[in-house]
Amino acid sequence: MKIVITGGAGFIGSNAANYYLQKKAEVVVFDNLSRAHTQKNLSWLTSRNGNLTFIHGDIRSNESLGKLMPFLKKADAVLHLAGQVAVTTSITNPREDFEVNALGTLNLLEAMRFLKSRAKLIYSSTNKVYGSMEDVPVVTKTTRYEYTDLPHGVSEFRNLDFHSPYGCSKGAADQYVHDYGRIYGLDTVVMRQSCIYGPRQFGVEDQGWVAWFLIAAILNKPITIYGDGKQVRDLLYIDDLVRAYDMAIAAGKKTRGRIYNIGGGAKNTLSVWREFEPLVHALHKKAIPVIYKGWRAGDQRVFIADIRLAKREFGWEPKTKVADGVQQLYDWIAQNKSLFR
Ligand SMILES: NC(=O)c1ccc[n+]([C@@H]2O[C@H](COP(=O)([O-])OP(=O)(O)OC[C@H]3O[C@@H](n4cnc5c(N)ncnc54)[C@H](O)[C@@H]3O)[C@@H](O)[C@H]2O)c1
């Protein structure tokens, strides 16, 4: 199998690349290494001794895409993960966010259209395409907010409502990928991912909060909680996400042109501090300095993805329980402390 992974030196990309290297696939990683620590992920991938090709390129640049074309031409699958990933950065620099996420995706789609590519293209979209969902009733419990009427979470049939430049650029790309499947016959799958966490995630306060809280605890740095810490998210361990990509590719025609919510779902949720703190405390056994600040604009009280469509259509569901996944990430950070200095 030949697979191209844009953003392949990032958190999700390096885990996916490692998975396919282990499966003896020919893996092409395309990345501009703009995200901090990506060079470390790339060095780790290189040390795996598989069939890896690295292309240093920018998804916004025609010249870079020119270097990728021969590999795209032969690819059986493409994971499009390259992106500007933080809502906060998108607010300070909306043009760059648009160019990387929306225009970059269009560039890739055009390259694949030009090549009449038959590769399965998986796009890493986001649950942010559903917006802040202020009309959805929520109740307050002791440690968390809960949906009143959505026991399984938010389905793919929820209206799109892009909030923030990041929501707009990812949402535009989500719809472009879907439409290139319809209009030009590309074999596309859109995955609207919830919060993903796991090893090789160099989380920072603005993005990758599960990793960031654990890194901060281990490095003895204070963390900031915006709001009351009862906000609930569904969490998905990285290995389960990579398995979703692989199963969607293997499912062939069944997943062609489809859009799926991919997250931890209703069985894998946590409130960001009121329930996360006891979990971290049990692992770390030391108090973690916390600063509370006001709510961030557009912060959802709850987001839980309804992931039943993916199970029905290609048999995927998460396997890793939140407590186990958090323990694995904690152990990885503790064993690799030097990477974070
Ligand atoms: N991690 C999550 O919880 C999550 C949730 C929903 C969606 N996503 C999406 O999944 C994808 C991967 O996310 P991640 O968590 O691995 O983030 P990441 O920042 O670790 O990876 C993104 C990679 O893209 C590269 N990149 C950025 N701009 C580029 C450009 N112009 N050209 C080429 N490469 C570029 C970065 O260097 C980095 O290696 C992103 O598109 C993100 O929006 C992630």
Centre of ligand 1 from the C-alpha of residue 230, in Å: 27
Cα→Cα distances 121→84, 205, 239, 260, Å: 19, 30, 19, 14
Q: Are 194 and 264 spatial neighbours (Cβ–Cβ below 8 Å)?
A: yes
> Which atom belonging to ligand 1 lies closest to the Cα atom of 170?
43
Q: What is the pLDDT of residue 260?
A: 99
Q: Name the residue range of residue 314's domain.
A: 2-340
Centre of ligand 1 from the C-alpha of residue 302, in Å: 23
Q: What is the pLDDT of residue 297?
A: 79
Given the residues 166, 176, 237, 330, select the one marked as catalytic. Answer: 166
Write the pLDDT tens digit of every residue in 217-240: 999 999 999 999 999 999 999 999
DSSP string covering 161-174: ---HHHHHHHHHHH
Does the annotation count 176 as an active-site position?
no
Q: pLDDT tier at 299 (50, 70, 90 boundaries)?
A: confident
Centre of ligand 1 from the C-alpha of residue 82, in Å: 5
Mean pLDDT of the chain: 97
Nearest residue CA, atom 19 of ligand 1?
Answer: 10
Write the pLDDT tens digit of every residue in 149-193: 999 999 999 999 999 999 999 999 999 999 999 999 999 999 999
Centre of ligand 1 from the C-alpha of residue 137, in Å: 32
Nearest residue CA, atom 34 of ligand 1?
Answer: 31
Domains in the chain: how many in total?
A: 1
Centre of ligand 1 from the C-alpha of residue 323, in Å: 25
> Which atom belonging to ligand 1 lies closest to the Cα atom of 59?
32
Torsion of CA 201, 205, 211, 216, to 10 degrees: 120
Q: Are 7 and 14 spatial neighbours (Cβ–Cβ below 8 Å)?
A: no
Q: Among 68, 84, 95, which residue's Cα sits nearest to residue 124? A: 84
Centre of ligand 1 from the C-alpha of residue 159, in Å: 25
Nearest residue CA, atom 42 of ligand 1?
Answer: 85
Pocket of ligand 1, beta carbon within 6 A: 7, 9-13, 31-35, 38, 58-60, 81-85, 100, 104, 124, 126, 170, 193, 195-196
Question: Count of CB atoms within 10 A of residue 96's CB?
Answer: 15
Centre of ligand 1 from the C-alpha of residue 57, in Å: 14
Q: What is the pLDDT of residue 144?
A: 98
Write the pLDDT tens digit of every residue in 20-77: 999 999 999 999 999 999 999 999 999 998 999 999 999 999 999 999 999 999 999 9
Q: Hey, which bits of 21-177 come out as E strands?
A: 26-31, 51-56, 77-80, 120-126, 138-140, 145-147
Nearest residue CA, atom 18 of ligand 1?
Answer: 10
Question: Count of CB atoms within 10 A of residue 331's CB?
Answer: 13
Pocket test for ligand 1, best of 4, 14, 35 (most atoms within 8 A of CB): 35
CA dist., res. 244 & res. 262, Å (int)? 8
Nearest residue CA, atom 12 of ligand 1?
Answer: 81
What pTM value is reported for the model?
0.98
CATH classification at residue 194: 3.40.50.720
Pocket test for ligand 1, best of 6, 35, 85, 210 (most atoms within 8 A of CB): 85
Q: What is the pLDDT of residue 225?
A: 95
Cα→Cα distances 183→53, 179, 188, 255, 315, Å: 31, 6, 11, 17, 27
What is the arrangement of strands in the sheet containing 120-126, beginning at the earlier edge strand? Answer: 51-56, 26-31, 2-6, 77-80, 120-126, 187-193, 258-262
Pocket test for ligand 1, best of 12, 33, 190, 193 (most atoms within 8 A of CB): 12
> Which atom belonging to ligand 1 lies closest to the Cα atom of 13?
16
